[in-house]
C-alpha cells in the first residue's frame, strides 16, 4: 500500500481539528457553569461526539500506518504524534465528564482563564500540525510550538492561584467537599494544557529529525 504523502498529514490535521472543536466546546461549557444546566449537558454531549470522531480518525491513522510500506515521516513519529493528539482529546473529555460527575455549578476567573488558554493552545497546535507537511513553514511551526509551551507554563500559575483561593477561608464539611471537587476540576483543566505541550514537543522532535 502506497498512500499519497498528503493522506497522513490530512488525517493528522483532521485529528487535531476535532481536538480544537472539543476545546471550544469546553470553553463554552465552563462559561455555562452556574448559568444553564441544559447548555452544560448539551456541551458535554458535544465533546463526547468530538471524542468519538477523533477516535475514528485515530483508528484510520493507525490502520494506514500498519498497512503502509512508505510513510512521509518516521513511522514511530506518526504513531507518537497520533497518540499525543488523542491524549489532548481525552483530557478535554475528562474535564467535561468531571463537570457532570462532580456537579460543578460554578467557575471562577481562573477556571475561565484556563479554558481560554486551552483554546489558544489547541488553536496553535492545529495550525502547527497543518503546517507540518510544508518544510518551508518549519520556523512558523516551531514558533507555534514554543507559544504552546509558554501558554502551558503560565497555566500552572493560574491553576495554583485557583487552588490556593479554595483553601484560604475555613468552612464546614460542605465547603471542604466543594473545595476538593473544584481542586480536581482545575487540575484536569491544566492537564489538557500539559497534553497540548507534549504534542507540541513531539512536533518539534519531528521537525528536528526531518530537518
- DSSP output for 18-59: HHHHHHHHHHHHHHHTTT-HHHHHHHHHHHHHHHHHHHHHHH
Q: Are 210 and 95 in contact (CB under 8 A)?
A: no
Task: Give me 59's grid cell.
Answer: 483508528
DSSP code of residue 136: G
Report d(CA 15, CA 62) in Å as an integer: 12
Q: Are 47 and 33 in contact (CB under 8 A)?
A: no
Binned average pLDDT, 10 residues per bin, the chain of 211 residues = 66 96 97 89 96 96 81 83 97 94 87 96 96 85 96 94 79 75 92 97 89 64
In the chain the beta strands, taken as DSSP E runs, fall at: none
The total of other beta-carbon atoms located within 10 Å of residue 76's CB is 11
CA nearest to 27, candidates 206, 192, 148, 142: 192
Spatial CB neighbours of 207, under 8 Å, sequence gap ≥ 6: 132, 138, 141, 142
pLDDT of residue 169: 65
Q: Give the global pTM.
A: 0.91
In what helix (H) or strand (E) does residue 193 lie, and over which residues does it extend?
A: helix 173-209
pLDDT of residue 140: 92
The total of other beta-carbon atoms located within 10 Å of residue 131's CB is 22
Report d(CA 199, CA 202) in Å as an integer: 5
pLDDT of residue 211: 64
Q: Which domains, from first to last, does the chain contain? A: 5-209 (1.20.58.220)
pLDDT of residue 35: 85
Report d(CA 10, CA 45) in Å as an integer: 26
Report d(CA 111, CA 114) in Å as an integer: 5
Report d(CA 78, CA 30) in Å as an integer: 32
pLDDT of residue 119: 98
Amino acid at each position: 500500500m502506497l498512500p499519497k504523502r498528503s493522506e497522513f498529514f490530512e488525517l493528522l490535521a483532521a485529528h487535531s481539528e476535532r481536538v480544537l472543536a472539543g476545546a471550544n466546546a469546553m470553553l463554552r461549557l465552563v462559561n455555562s457553569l452556574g448559568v444553564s444546566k441544559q447548555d452544560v449537558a448539551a456541551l458535554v454531549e458535544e465533546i463526547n461526539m468530538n471524542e468519538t470522531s477523533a477516535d475514528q480518525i485515530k483508528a484510520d491513522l493507525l490502520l494506514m500506518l500498519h498497512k503502509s510500506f512508505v510513510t512521509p515521516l518516521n513511522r514511530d513519529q506518526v504513531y507518537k504524534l497520533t497518540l499525543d493528539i488523542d491524549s489532548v482529546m481525552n483530557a478535554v473529555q475528562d474535564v467535561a465528564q468531571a463537570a457532570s460527575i462532580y456537579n460543578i455549578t460554578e467557575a471562577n476567573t481562573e477556571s475561565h482563564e484556563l479554558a481560554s488558554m486551552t483554546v489558544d493552545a489547541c488553536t496553535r497546535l492545529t495550525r502547527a500540525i497543518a503546517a507540518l507537511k510544508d518544510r518551508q513553514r518549519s520556523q512558523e511551526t516551531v514558533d507555534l510550538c514554543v507559544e504552546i509551551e509558554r501558554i502551558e507554563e503560565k497555566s500552572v500559575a493560574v491553576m495554583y492561584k485557583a487552588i490556593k483561593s479554595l483553601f484560604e477561608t475555613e468552612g464546614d464539611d460542605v465547603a471542604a467537599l466543594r473545595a476538593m471537587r473544584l481542586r480536581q476540576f482545575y487540575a484536569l483543566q491544566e492537564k489538557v494544557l500539559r497534553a497540548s505541550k507534549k504534542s507540541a514537543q513531539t512536533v518539534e522532535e519531528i521537525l528536528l529529525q526531518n530537518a
